[in-house]
Chain A
């Protein structure tokens, strides 16, 4: 799998896939997408990259150990649930604030989005854990 065309194409493809993944994550609350799907897309991208460039390249690229990513994702998801608890509401209650952007647009930001990022991190972490350990074994 050392063909130059494949490697170049993969780099371009993977960057596009990752950008698409972030897009899916951010728009998920209002349109098709969400953390789970976004992570799956990113995972597909990384799988492709692993097959072509090997696991070491991927590890260099993501810097964090995939199992650390899982741990971080769990922490993020739990914390976003506990915020409601500290505010005297039930666990996982959505806490929202409105952010005014330039140009007068308003965006609702809330713990559910935060939670979705936890989902993203865990799912991606799981895929990377499997792919990389398989590759290295």
Chain B
């Protein structure tokens, strides 16, 4: 039993409670939030180190032995995810200092943000299916709150679409939990791994697997379930877009990986075959949808879908290498994607718009911003030696090794199409001369200045991308260990149930 296991969940909630208590003191809120996110990062790192050194960690919450109580379980996949969550939490908190105005702070920005972070960590750490459902609800509520915070009309429109479709996913999730509980009498994931093997009614099991696939598919943004995402992610402040883009769909992907490696492995050819098809179509849909857009954040939003396809592809191929690729891709993409959203906000702060038409001149006047975007965008497009290249390499190689040539080809082609969109943004927002600068004012200093509180987290995340790209070895090793655990569910079961 490791007490550290619960801190990544509890700390954000404590921050939420504290910032809510000081709801009318924005400055103190900012200080508390930054301190809280540092503590959160420390707690997550501690847990990360424990897992890397000592293997899986578990805690039987309330002291009730599994499967009677709720188990928290941290394997390598979980700790990778919470580490990234903590890093993004810190980055976005710092960024928010510059972007979020007092009005929003008084309306409960920080409490909502930290409840979201706590819920995300809860989802990554829980070993209980119903508890996972609870954390999904927490995330849904908190993200809805963040989406509509500020009460602009388009935020509300996006928020409604977001919440309606996601509520349907939640509904499916709880229906699936009910059915599965009725079939097995347990909610503990490790126990479910054993119990599902005893189920006679294979057709019902397949149906339940399909329900979960749909529910998490909606959350993850898989084809054809992704509509809520492009409808909503470009509407809130950039900090909110960034944290939602970095975390939410990935929790859906995480849940898919967890359930379809631990519980639903009775007919891998069928379930994972479906995932493969869905993953590949998703990759294409997202990247094509992005190609047709002309707004900074919309392009990024629709791209999320495409990259979720890559991750699901890794799960669908279901070899250790492919799963390691999926984990590596998650790690890479969460950082890069969130950072690109942060950069979009910074660009908009400088130029006053998210529309590519109205942007321009950033390369000329803000070389540091340009550099940071370039690193992130080309990492996303999978150029070496940046993090995205290794992620793509693992998946393509896994596809070739398993004989899924068309999937590997798709991964490669979609990479090219990603370059297409990223160079569109680069060409329009960075290279193109600023449309507002007339000939006469040539040479004058631009009015917009990048804010240090924005540059700091962006630089940090870009630096992280660079480090993952240049020294991928350690990250890859963790991803491989995660994949090893995922392909050997016995490890998880033994850790939770104590080798019974």
Instruction: Give residues in A with beta carbon < 8 Å to B.
Output: 65, 67-68, 70-72, 74-75, 78, 81-82, 84-85, 89-94
Contacts and interface: CB of A to CB of B under 8 A. Distances in A.
Contact of B6 (A70, A72, A91): A91
Contacts of A75: 14, 17-18, 21
A90 B72 CA distance: 10
B59 interface: yes
Interface in B331-377: none
B21 A71 contact: yes
B62 A68 contact: no
A69 B172 CA distance: 33
A79 to B, nearest CB: 9
Most interface-central of A67, A90, A92, A94 (chain B CB within 10 A): A90
12 contacts: A67-B20, A67-B23, A71-B111, A72-B17, A74-B13, A75-B18, A78-B13, A82-B10, A90-B59, A90-B63, A91-B3, A92-B62
Contacts of B61: 90-93
Interface of B: 1, 3, 5-6, 10, 13-14, 16-18, 20-21, 23, 59-63, 72, 108, 111
A85 to B, nearest CB: 5
Given A82-B10, A85-B6, A91 B17 contact: no
B23 A93 contact: no
A78 B14 CA distance: 7
Given A67-B108, A75-B18, 8 more contacts: A71-B21, A74-B16, A75-B17, A75-B21, A78-B17, A81-B6, A85-B6, A93-B62
Contact of B20 (A71, A81, A92): A71
B21 A94 contact: no
Nearest to B71: A90
B1 A71 contact: no
A22 B6 CA distance: 31
Nearest to B72: A91
Contacts of A78: 10, 13-14, 17
Consensus secondary structure, chain A interface:
helix
B63 A89 contact: yes
Contacts of B18: 71, 75
Contacts of A84: 62-63
A114 to B, nearest CB: 14
A81 B14 CA distance: 12
A97 B131 CA distance: 29
A104 to B, nearest CB: 30
B124 to A, nearest CB: 16
Contacts of A82: 10
A99 B165 CA distance: 50
Contacts of B63: 84, 89-90, 93-94
Given A67-B108, A74-B16, A90 B21 contact: no
Nearest to B108: A67
A68 B23 CA distance: 8
Contacts of A90: 1, 3, 6, 59-63
A75 B111 CA distance: 13
A75 to B, nearest CB: 5
Nearest to A88: B3
Contacts of B23: 65, 67-68, 71
A78 B1 CA distance: 19
A91 B10 contact: yes
A68 B22 CA distance: 8
Nearest to B63: A93
A74 B115 CA distance: 11
Contacts of A65: 23
B248 to A, nearest CB: 22
A36 to B, nearest CB: 14
Contacts of A91: 3, 5-6, 10, 59, 61-62, 72
Most interface-central of A65, A84, A91 (chain B CB within 10 A): A91
Contacts of B14: 75, 78
A85 B61 CA distance: 10
Contacts of B5: 91
A111 to B, nearest CB: 10
B108 A74 contact: no
B10 A74 contact: no
B106 to A, nearest CB: 10
Contacts of A67: 20, 23, 108
Contacts of B3: 85, 90-91
B73 to A, nearest CB: 12
Per CB-CB distance, the 5 closest pairs between chain A and chain B, nearest first, are A71-B20, A74-B17, A91-B6, A93-B63, A71-B21
Nearest to A75: B17
Contacts of B16: 74
B6 to A, nearest CB: 4
A100 B20 CA distance: 38
B91 to A, nearest CB: 25
Given A67-B108, A81-B10, A85-B3, A94 B62 contact: yes
B62 A70 contact: no
A70 B112 CA distance: 13
Most interface-central of A84, A92, A94 (chain B CB within 10 A): A92
Contacts of A74: 13, 16-17, 20
B245 to A, nearest CB: 27
A127 to B, nearest CB: 15
A46 to B, nearest CB: 20
Nearest to A122: B17
Contacts of A71: 17-18, 20-21, 23, 111
B42 to A, nearest CB: 17
Contacts of B21: 68, 71-72, 75
Nearest to B70: A92
Contacts of B108: 67
